[in-house]
Amino acid sequence: MATTTSFLTKPPSSDLYFIPKISSLCSHGSFLPSFAARPIPFSAKLETSSKTLRFITKATAAPGTKKAPSDERVHQVHSIDEFDEALRMAKNKLVVVEYAASHSYHSSKIYPFMVDLSRTCNDVEFILVMGDESEKTRELCKREKIEKVPHFSFYKSMEKIHEEEGIGPDQLMGDVLYYGDSHSGVVQLHCREDVEKLIEDHKLDHKLIVLDVGLKHCGPCVKVYPTVIKLSKQMDSVVFARMNGDENDSCMQFLKDMDVIEVPTFLFIRDGEICGRYVGSGKGELIGEILRYLGVRVT
């Protein structure tokens, strides 16, 4: 049985794909959102429309009107100063910002889904920017380089960590779970030492560890992560963990040591040893591999 140190330094050659360069790291598989929202050029939609607006937010309510409870957690900002202050107040929480336009059909379609997410994701802040509302919001969009709507940007500690254009509900939910997860049963690993400690902690109980290795801006990694969260709640005999290889140098070195060249890669670890891996984002395939390493016959 290999020790924790030897496992991390030189993994068993029979279970790994040996390709020397990490520079070829790529996303595995395709990612096609179920809701194909075509983004529209933002520059062409900045003029105030004289037609009836299809996108209605709480900001349009008449004075004295009670705010609708459904969207009370979506904070609409109206200037650069308000935007920066909202990011500062969020501190290290995930902040999801939708940049929209009043007469954008796709903006109006995706907004209710963001409202629903805001009601269930209490540890995430949600912000709405109506780009064609005023000159101040136009300046904000120009500073953030927003050219098409709907556009979603994700921030942590006032730093933009991800952005998407024209996404649908499934991908929006996946992005929020992927970048904002901090309270699920999935153990978040941020360095090599975290991996060593996790392995050491589960040597006595002999639990299977499923380590999800990905990258921050990997579509298939985002796609499969809700499944990982769900499985972590259903499989008490399995420990689920995640590491983003591009989070820091220690994580990237770990990917190199494990010869991870495609993401997402799932490493199956028991008693300090790698017993297998699965490369891909297929939900059924992942579940099948986990059951196989649990000793469950899958027919």
The residues annotated as belonging to the active site are 218, 221
Sequence letter at residue 188: Q
Tokens of 265: 């890669």
């990694």: which residue's tokens?
221
Question: What does the DSSP assignment read for 34-70?
Answer: SS----EESGGG-SPPSSPPS---GGGSPTTPPPPGG
Cβ neighbours for 168, distance < 8 A, ≥ 6 positions apart: 33, 34, 35, 36, 37, 110
What's the helix, strand, coil split of the chain in %, to 5? 35, 20, 40
3-state secondary structure 115-162: HHHHHHCCCEEEEEEECCCCHHHHHHHHHCCCCEECEEEEEECCEEEE
Which three-class secondary structure state does DSSP give residue 29? coil
Query: What does the longest C-alpha to C-alpha distance in the chain come to?
Result: 73
Residues 227 and 283: beta-carbon distance below 8 Å = yes
Question: What does the DSSP assignment read for 226-284?
Answer: HHHHHHHHH-TTEEEEEEETTSSHHHHHHHHHTT--EESEEEEEETTEEEEEEES--HH
> Which pairing describes strands 26-27 and 262-263: parallel, antiparallel, or unpaired?
parallel
Which three-class secondary structure state does DSSP give residue 80? helix
